[in-house]
Structure 1
Amino acid sequence: MLESLVTSKTRIKLLLKFFSHANSGYLRSLAKEFDESTNSVRVELNRLTEAGLLVSEDDGKTKLYKANTSHPFFEEIKGMVSKFLGLDDLMERIVKRMGEVEAAYIVGDYAKGIDSGTISMILIGKKLDQHYLDFIREKTYEKVQRKVEVSILTTDPGDIQGILVYGK
């Protein structure tokens, strides 16, 4: 979806980085993270800044870039990025069907805005359906082509397992 609207792979990486979470970054660290040249990252950072989608602030001799949360399209772009990553649908389905989920968190690379191909989640609750978890992990991989790792923290006093980690 995003690839048909945005033709620059570097620009897509930057949008995913800055609009998936409240992330910030420096030119050189972004180039290293994306395994891209500093010039190609600089060009896209300049384009996104000129469009008003990113803001930069001087931090010594370097510039720190982050999403412009006051831009009129900030929420829409953030929503598109979230849908592109499949996180909205994933979280909603898991929370609805897993049982008594008290809290659900995305952690790891995705929480940092890095698309490593693995989504790490923590679910906290009682009587969570671990069979459904195995099923949804497979379906999620088919749908969004990302591995899902889920850690379950139970709040059920009768459950002595406490923490279960599921991954593929």
Structure 2
Amino acid sequence: MLESLITSKTRVRLLLKLFLNPGSSGYLRELADEFGESTNSVRVELNRLAEAGLLESSTEGRTKVYRANSGHPLFPEIQGLVRKTMGIDRLVESVVAKLGDVKLAFVTGDYARGVNSGLIDLVLVGDIDRGYLQSLVSRLEGDLKVKIRWLVLNEAEFGTLRTNFEGQDALVIWKRED
């Protein structure tokens, strides 16, 4: 979807990487290697997005690190567009909202890092109907053309395993406010 609106594949990859999970960041060579692009093409797009104020940068040692500018007025809209492109918005609406007492839902792995690998790692916390979840996931996999690997934890299990998730990239897609 983004490819039809934005003709630069490098720019699309940068938006997916940095806006899907605003906590993620990257530096020029790392991004070029990840995308399989030349450093020059990545540099041009990083500069354009930074000049537009969509990215902010900081220097860590001798390396310039880029991340999404969450304070930019268009940030919520761009992030929403990126999430729709990745299918996460449909995942939330179709799976999480109808499953029972969902306390927390988050994506880990490649999608949380902004990489579209075709595999979504979904973690759900709460009292969830697993049979209904499996039927919804099966339908979504066909619609989105991705594989969804899911894990359901109750609150006690999540409390025990929480430290296992802390070192990973995690993108919270649903959190019930009590």
TM-score bin, normalised by smaller chain: 0.7 to 0.9
Listed one character per residue, the Cα deviations across residues 111-131 of structure 1 (whole Å, up to 9, x for unaligned) are 2222221111111222x3222
Call closer, same or farther: CA 1:64–1:98 in 2, change over 3 Å: same
Cα deviations across residues 14-44 of structure 1 (Å, max 9, x unaligned)? 0001111121101111111112221221111
| Distance in 2 of aligned mates of 1:70 and 1:97 | 32
Gaps of 5+ in 1: 157-168
In 1, the alpha carbon distance for the partners of 2:100 and 2:57 equals 43
Q: Distance in 1 between matches of 2:41 and 2:155?
A: 48
Whether the 8 Å contact between 2:95 and 2:137 is mirrored in structure 1 is: no
Residue of structure 2 in register with 1:146 after alignment: 146
- The CA distance in 1 between the partners of 2:13 and 2:3, in whole Å, is 11
Q: Which structure would you say has the larger Rg?
A: 1
Please tell me whether the aligned partners of residues 25 and 67 of structure 2 are also in contact (alpha carbons under 8 angstroms).
Answer: yes
Partner residue in 2 for 1:21 = 21
User: Using CA pairs below 8 Å that are at least 6 residues apart, which structure has the higher relative contact order?
Assistant: 2
Please say if 1:134 is aligned against 2:134. Answer: yes
Where does residue 81 of structure 2 map in the other structure?
80
> 1:42 — aligned with what?
43
Structure 2 CA distance for aligned equivalents of residues 98 and 69 of structure 1: 30
**Partner deviation per Cα, 1:42-97 (whole Å, 9 max, x = no partner):** 11111111222112222222210111222221111111111111112212321222
How does the TM-score come out when normalised to structure 2? 0.79
Q: Distance in 2 between matches of 1:142 and 1:37?
A: 34
Number of corresponding residues: 155
Q: 1:63 corresponds to which residue? A: 64
Distance 2:99 2:8 in 1: 38
* Cα separation, 2, equivalents of 1:154 and 1:25: 34
Asked whether 1:104 is paired with 2:91, we answer no
Aligned mates of 2:28, 2:136 — CA distance in 1: 37
RMSD: 1.7
Q: Would the aligned equivalents of 2:96 and 2:105 in 1 still touch at CA under 8 Å?
A: yes
SS of the residue aligned with 1:71? coil
Q: Quote how far apart the aligned CAs of 1:155 are.
A: 5.2
Structure 2, unmatched stretches of 5+, are 157-178
